[in-house]
Amino acid sequence: MAFTEPMTFSAGAVLTASQMNTYVRDNVDFLSEPPRALAYHNTTQSISTATETIMACNSEEYDSDTMHDPSTNNERLTASTAGTYLLNGACAFASGYTGRFFIYLKSTGGGGHTAILDHHCSAGGSQPQGMVGGTIALAAAEYAWISVYQESGGALNITSGATNRAGASIAATWIGE
């Protein structure tokens, strides 16, 4: 279901049941549960040094608008409903990491593969992690994904998790037209 731009009523106009359902009930339902999805990877993924790698997301916590397919192109969240989306991406490396890494949030919005936001992280702590977020307008069928780049000198694993709280994840929530 998509948001329907409400019509302009004139004085004395009679609101029909169909109009009430379309412009009021359906829009309130849509706004109370907007299109959203959260996909994550439930196993480790090896990231080669000095190579940008797109993060796989073979599982999902929720998907209210058929935005994610866990088997085909599972790295993507694809807009089924056009609009502006709040996007978030995260990843966490296994412990023992040295060097720097970058996490990128990218999309096909605007007609090309563009970076929305990137974040640079330095090694430190027991489990280096990074998160990016931003907003972008996506037409129906445009999509977003996250990728990472690390420069430790060897391959490193992104951690795995049974939920989105560990490893790699990407989330999108529709916030307006």
DSSP at 61: E
**In this predicted structure, what is the pLDDT of residue 82?**
93
CA–CA distance, 94 with 130 (Å, rounded to integer):
12
Weakest-pLDDT range from 16-30, 52-66, 113-127, 129-143: 113-127
CA–CA distance, 17 with 139 (Å, rounded to integer):
31
- What φ, ψ does residue 22 adopt, rounded to 5°? -70, -50
Q: Which residues contact 38 (CB under 8 A, 6 or more apart)?
A: 60, 61, 62, 63, 164, 169, 170, 171
CA–CA distance, 1 with 76 (Å, rounded to integer):
21
pTM given for the model: 0.84
- What φ, ψ does residue 32 adopt, rounded to 5°? -80, -20
pLDDT tens sequence across 31-49 = 889 999 999 998 889 999 9
**In this predicted structure, what is the pLDDT of residue 127?**
59
Say yes or no to pLDDT of 79 above 60. Answer: yes
Q: Tokens representing 118?
A: 């990137």
Say yes or no to pLDDT of 174 above 90. Answer: yes
**In this predicted structure, what is the pLDDT of residue 93?**
80
Which residue type, as a one-letter code, is found at position 141? A
CA–CA distance, 87 with 106 (Å, rounded to integer):
10
